[in-house]
Structure 1
Amino acid sequence: MGDAQPAAAWEVPAEVNLHDHVLRSTAAAGDHLAIVDLSRGARREWTYARLRAAVAGLAGWLRRNGVTDDDVVVVLTENSAEFVVAYHGILAAGGVVLALDPRDTAEHWRATIDTCGAKALIAETALKPPESALPVVCVGATTPGGTAWEDAVAAEPAQARPSGGDRTAVLMSSSGTEGVPKLVEVTHRNLTSNLGQIDHLHLVHGDDVVLSVPPLRHIYGMQMAMNPSLRAGATLVLGSTPFSAEDFLRDVTSEGVSLSYLVPSVIAELGKTGRPLPSLRMIVSGGAPLPSTDGTRCAQALGVPVVQGFGMTEAGCVSFSPDGVEVPEGSTGVLVPGTEVKFLGSADGTESGELWLRGPQIAPASADADGWLRTGDLVTRDADGFLRITGRAKALIKYKGHQVSPVELEEVVTSHPAVSEAHVAGVPDPVAGEIPKAFVVLEETVSLAEITAYVAERVAPHKRVRAIERVGAIPRSSTGKRVRPPALRVLVTGGGRGLGKTFALALGASGANVVVAGRDEAALAQTVLEIRQAGGTATHVALDVTDEAAVTSGVAQVINECGGLDVVVNNAGTPGPTGPLWAVDEREWRRAVEVNLFGSAAVTRAVAPVLTGRVVNVVSRAGRVGWPNASAYAASKAALISLTASLAGELGETGRVAVAFDPGLVDAGITRAHLDRGPTGVPWEDEILAWTLRAREAGRFTSTEVAADALVAVATGAADHLSGRYVRVEDVKTERVVSR
């Protein structure tokens, strides 16, 4: 059996329609501001009298156009006053609200409309909604066959007063506990019950000015911001989309905002740029886990509490930080009243266990036969009842049989002073099964090895970050949840054979989207095939790095196919002629410089306008110390090292870097060619061979695996703090490199 939170003064509402439950208490509000809409760049005011009239008018229009009880009406608008009117107008007509994501595709909108059997559509014409034979209300310019918004909301009010109870109020999109998108039927009773549960822990007051950022179509924006604000008779301020910390500071100041519902990405920004604002009393975070460090920084910057709760589409608000109570750092508060809970894998929740819930707010179709909802979230509960989310059961990283929580690691990674954001995910590993990989956004230039060492000092050995990548930003969903950054797009020249092929295979195994370039198309195709057979993503483009036209067209092809480029690895090279400078063929000498130096410069010139991350020029120790009887090779690599330093300065403050990477003496490529050729009887060729053999016998060779791991580390940002420098394998030791 589970245990239940005490109900206190809270009780389940009767068979009331959610619309009546929210707006009936505002009948006397009249001229008080209900909504200030800043979503379209101009300030628009809606009083409660105007809001109620518009809701009633739209309900009447829907009824006269064939919408009856339990019919689905689709809403396709951004956060706006029109969304609020549409939402409550549909409920007042007895219909079911289905709000579509404005960021989605027209094909998906059309499929959803057809699948759900919608009876009407309310759409913002600027979003270019799909053509429909349904009755359509147009927000903005009227489309052929549609009814103007102003005409619809001015229609004769509907007289019916539909009930609520267990009738479906809203169809809401959810990824569910299994990660499969679905529509969840949420009832009037679910939503009205949950509003009462929330009130028991957190109140919106009638004199509050409430700024809402999350989408109102999501449970957080709907049940924490929109409905509680309107039910209290407060003023709801709707910000622009997208929304930034700068927008927040402006809107709070201009509107006198006292309470704001934000997403973690904005809170992270405010921790850096925020300042105290006289009207503000509280910040609420929701939609995704809030790292403790971000919450603390924001609270210090603004001088107000930053609290959070935990919720989901199928269960509304599950827990919240009670008003006026000091909440443990990182907690999502206590359970809302009337909720039964049990922890799968933990008797009392003191150890991390999967959270199961039962209560009147649980969407019926999401629960099992006994009314229990399996959330898929791993949670602990302390002696005072405060919950802490430790991860997702499905998202746990399985490292050598150990379970590692990405959420726990993200908290540790973001506590490093140089890290502003982080996302941790599991990546496949042939030995460990999966290893924890961190994607980090840095506020200052530090070694990624410093960050992995910092984490290693604070976690158990099996929880260490064993791969790390520096990225410009962590993508987020519309509710603020971090999502894994897209695969790194890497171009490797000379990728058909030798060391270039080794690098390409390693990058493919790391999860990068690899493009290999070179002159031998058959060899390139083989490299691509091997990457794909190993489960990676790759393609190829045939080009000669000394042919400017071929480089230009080849890079254009890469950009077109990949949508851009993050990293270029200039590996294409030739050993050049061997022998004294005065004895070798001048044309061969020039050819080596053209390939090794001018080829790298040509590729860099072509990719620079679109490159987002790094130029990695593959060089050699010969470029630092010279190489008698191989002067063309040594001189070209020396020039490439110098070019890299100059390029780093030219990239300046763009966030892009250039590194001269020396993989060491690797038994591949040019070194392998010397070994394969063997003694030739030519003194200088045999001298180079003898030196190579002595180096191998002395243990000065770098293993192919270590060199490849180091290249992957450089490509993913491990040497960004060394931009412009000559970087050796030992300079970029990462946890991934030393853990093999």
Structure 2
Amino acid sequence: MSSTTREEAQLPDPTIGRTRNATTALVFEDRAYSRAELDALASGLAVRLAGRGVEAGTRVALMSSNRPEFVVAVQAIWKLGASVVLLSPAYKLDEVAHALELTCPVAAVGDHPVLAAHADMLNLDEPITPESGEGPGIRHDPGAEALLVFSSGTTGLPKAVRHTHGSLAAAVAHWRDALQLTPADRVQVLTPPSHILGILNIATALEVGAWLRLHRRFDIDLMLRHIERDRITVEMAVAPIALAIAQHPDLESYDLSSLRYIMWGATPVTASITDIVTRRTGVGWVPAYGASELPVIACNPIDGARLDSVGRPVPGVSVRVVSLDTGEILPASGVGEIQVRAESLMAGYLPADANPDAFDDGWYRTGDVGYLDEDGWLRLTDRSKEMIKVKGFQVAPAEVESVLHGHPDVADCAVFGVPDPATGEAVIAAVVTGTPVTEAELIALVGDRLASYKRPSRILPVPEIPRLPSGKVLRRVLKERYGRPSDE
């Protein structure tokens, strides 16, 4: 994380004045883009993509840092009736190879050398020539595939979550209504746009006509500086951002009075952190709950939000709780698996063989455990699935374990998560070794093969991995034995 001095924060912003113009759709650093400019750039890029074989019904891989060209690329792909495969810039070679093999895109666009190593990538660092006029027509068949994002499974490599234009449009409408966003709002996005929350925030802001600032990367000083300077009205936060706000030594020196609220999503709310921020700034929080498969499930009311609940199901989303033992629908306050359905539900997974276990008679099985109380407030108590959530990103234990098993001195291993105040959860690896191997060596092995957020924060030497007779790892036993919070 870089820092910004208070002297820099006092410099005049070259976008102020023209970015307050009602036609401004997006701001990045000192450059403002109108809706017409974005459309012209998207049309120009669409022409180049069409020359590479992109047409309706095809897929295009997009691996890009946070930049305006990311937004332009998504719009260009949609103009051609194609769907966009979002690849995290944190992915390493093997992860990108898996994603490309799974989704079979006909073209690639981005700014990342890892994607360029696998495909003939149209580089976003090259200038885009705007196309005058309307350019290629936008096709929005609600049933057509629009977007693929990746969600980790518990038993293997990440799955691709398929959204249609119809399901994505429904998710955007749910997010707009839940957060009460209007053209008068001013928001900024610091989270990766390849994550469902990032692309949802961008798509919703553009659909609503809100003023949007996109940041190259997360920088707490820049974030606070632009809340003050741009008069941001809604701030989006995940656990690391919330913690950085709470720990900022000069937080009171920034004028955050323009904020209506801060939204907390992707990880459970840490009440101590929210309390500190509200006490120091006077700004309240709005917890929300969603998933890649159904982006907006529940949200707190803007007025009267509660930190002990992810809120009530948003209008248009149905939620039920079923018994973990029998699958029967439970009454109010009965604890079980949370299942959801809505028009915003994904079309399904790739590979297709992951779909049968994902649904129960048309209801998506979230794998989260909780209950709906008598008044309809939804509370999460546990996760029946084994995914670990780090900074809002899902980490599949099996994926990390497969890398560790590749070390010649690792006889057995199991990966699990423990609470962490900075990241939501931390990845812990219990390892049985035949001969001594250093913690740093194993952590580096994972870091070389997988995205940095999947890297274990601790390696625990253990005499054996607890398993059922079937061979299934008893991760709950590992958590009970070794899973103290990482800050202890």
Bigger Cα Rg: 1
Match of 1:52 among 22, 39, 42: 39
Instruction: After TM superposition, give the deviation of residue 334 of structure 1 in Å.
Output: 1.1
Could you say if the C-alpha distance between residues 438 and 374 of structure 1 is closer, same or farther in structure 2, counting changes exceeding 3 Å? closer
Trace 1:593-612 onto structure 2 (pairs within 5 A): none
What's the offset of the Cα at 1:179?
Answer: 7.2
Distance 1:362 1:717 in 2: 37
Amino acid at match of 1:138: N
CA distance in 1, matches of 2:172, 2:436: 56
| 8 A contact 1:110–1:130 mirrored in 2 | no
Which residue number corresponds to residue 82 of structure 1? 69
Correspondence list, 1:483-522, <5 A: 483-485=426-428, 511=430
2:285 aligned residue? 306
SS of the residue corresponding to residue 122 of structure 2 reads: strand
Q: Which residue of 2 aligns with 1:328?
A: 306
Aligned-pair CA distance for 1:562:
5.5
Please say if 1:116 is aligned against 2:103.
yes
Residues in 2 aligned to 1:218 and 1:437: alpha-carbon distance in whole angstroms = 20
Write the distance in 1 (CA, Å) between the matches of 2:170 and 2:420.
Answer: 40
Q: CA deviation at 1:155?
A: 7.5
Aligned position for 1:537: 433
2:152 to 153, 175, 191: 175
Q: In structure 2, what residue type is equivalent to 1:230?
A: L
Asked if residue 96 in structure 1 is aligned to residue 83 in structure 2, the reply is: yes
Q: CA deviation at 1:484?
A: 2.1
- Aligned-residue sequence identity (percent) comes to 25
C-alpha distance in 1 between matches for 2:118 and 2:432: 41
What is aligned with 1:245? 220
State the partner residue of 1:389: 380
Find 1:208's aligned residue among 165, 173, 185: 185
Query: Quick check: 1:363 aligned with 2:309?
Result: no
For residue 254 of structure 1, report the CA deviation from its aligned partner: 2.8
Q: Does 1:139 align with 2:121?
A: no
The one-character-per-residue Cα deviations of 1:566-594 (angstroms, maximum 9, x if unpaired) are xxxxxxxxxxxxxxxxxxxxxxxxxxxxx
Distance 1:31 1:119, change over 3 A: farther
Amino acid at match of 2:314: V
Native 8 Å contact 1:177 1:374 kept in 2:
no
CA distance in 1, matches of 2:443, 2:368: 35
Number of residue equivalences: 391
- Distance verdict in 2 for CA 1:440–1:320, change over 3 Å: closer
Taking structure 1 as the reference length, the TM-score comes to 0.48
Answer yes or no: is the 8 Å Cα contact 1:376–1:392 preserved in 2. Answer: yes
Q: Decide whether aligned partners of structure 1 residues 139 and 210 sit closer, same or farther in structure 2, where only a CA change above 3 A counts.
A: same
Amino acid in the other structure paired with 1:483: A
Q: Which amino acid aligns with 1:316?
A: P
8 Å Cα contact 2:50/2:80 also seen in 1: yes
Residue of structure 1 equivalent to 2:115: 129
Letter in 2 for 1:351: G
Judge conservation of contact 2:41–2:72 (CA < 8 Å) in 1. yes
8 Å contact from structure 2 (residues 40, 132) kept in 1 = no
Kindly state the Cα deviation for residue 559 of structure 1 after the two structures are TM-superposed: 8.7
Please say if 1:269 is aligned against 2:255.
no
Cα deviations across residues 202-253 of structure 1 (Å, max 9, x unaligned)?
A: 2222122101122222221222x11111112111112232x24333212212
2: distance between equivalents of 1:219 and 1:245? Answer: 22
In the alignment, the residues of structure 1 paired with residue 52 and residue 386 of structure 2 have an alpha-carbon distance, to the nearest angstrom, of 46
Give how far 1:194 is off.
1.9
User: For the residues of structure 1 that align with 2:440 and 2:359, how far apart are their CA atoms?
Assistant: 48
CA distance in 2, matches of 1:131, 1:484: 29
**Alpha-carbon separation, structure 2, partners of 1:118 and 1:391:** 36
1:376 is aligned to: 367
Bigger RCO of structures 1 and 2 (CA < 8 A, at least 6 apart): 2
Q: Deviations over 1:620-660 (max 9, x none)?
A: xxxxxxxxxxxxxxxxxxxxxxxxxxxxxxxxxxxxxxxxx
Gapped regions of structure 2 (runs ≥ 5)? 1-19, 324-328, 349-354, 390-396, 398-413, 445-456, 459-481
Superposition pairs of residues 329-348 of structure 1, within 5 angstroms? 329-345=307-323, 347-348=330-331
Native 8 Å contact 1:340 1:357 kept in 2:
yes
Q: How has the CA–CA distance of structure 1 residues 536 and 440 changed in structure 2, closer, same or farther, with 3 Å as cutoff?
A: same
C-alpha distance in 2, partners of 1:563/1:200? 43
In structure 2, relative to structure 1, the CA distance for the partners of 1:315 and 1:353 (3 Å cut) is: same
Listed as ranges, the gaps of 5+ residues in structure 1 are 1-28, 141-147, 397-405, 408-424, 426-433, 442-473, 488-510, 512-534, 542-557, 565-611, 614-711, 719-740
The 3 A distance-change label for structure 1 pair 437 and 46 is closer
Cα distance change, pair 165–30 in 1 and its aligned pair in 2 (3 A): farther
Mapped partners of 1:236, 1:265: distance in 2: 21
Give the conservation status (yes or no) of the 8 Å contact 2:61–2:108: yes
1:359 counterpart letter in structure 2: A
For 1:185, give the aligned amino acid: R
Q: Which has the higher helix share?
A: 1
Contact 1:59 1:93 in 2 (8 A): yes
Q: 1:178 to 1:186 in 2, by over 3 A?
A: farther
Given that 1:314 and 1:362 are in contact with CA atoms closer than 8 Å, whether structure 2 keeps it comes out as: yes
CA shift for structure 1 position 382: 2.1
Instruction: Report the Cα offset of residue 94 of structure 1.
Output: 0.4
Q: Counterpart amino acid of 2:28?
A: D
Contact 1:267-1:294 within 8 A present in 2 as well: yes
Which shifted more, 330-339 or 177-186?
177-186
Please tell me whether residue 199 in structure 1 is matched to residue 176 in structure 2.
yes
What is the TM-score when the length of structure 2 is the normalising length?
0.71
| Residues 48-76 of structure 1, C-alpha deviations (whole Å, 9 max, x = no match) | 22112112222233234321111101111
Q: Does the aligned pair in 1 maintain the 2:287–2:305 contact within 8 Å?
A: no
User: Does the Cα contact within 8 Å between 2:58 and 2:106 map onto a contact in 1?
Assistant: yes
8 Å CA contact 1:61–1:156 kept in 2: the answer is no
Partner of 2:235: 260
How far residue 110 of structure 1 moved from its aligned partner, in angstroms, is 3.7
Residue 309 of structure 1, CA deviation: 0.7
SS of residue in 2 equivalent to 1:289? coil
The alpha-carbon distance between structure 1 residues 176 and 337, as it changes in their structure 2 partners (threshold 3 A), is farther
Which residue, 310, 314, 319 being the options, matches 2:298?
319
The alpha-carbon distance between structure 1 residues 563 and 310, as it changes in their structure 2 partners (threshold 3 A), is closer
1:185 paired residue number:
162
Tell me which residue corresponds to 1:232.
208
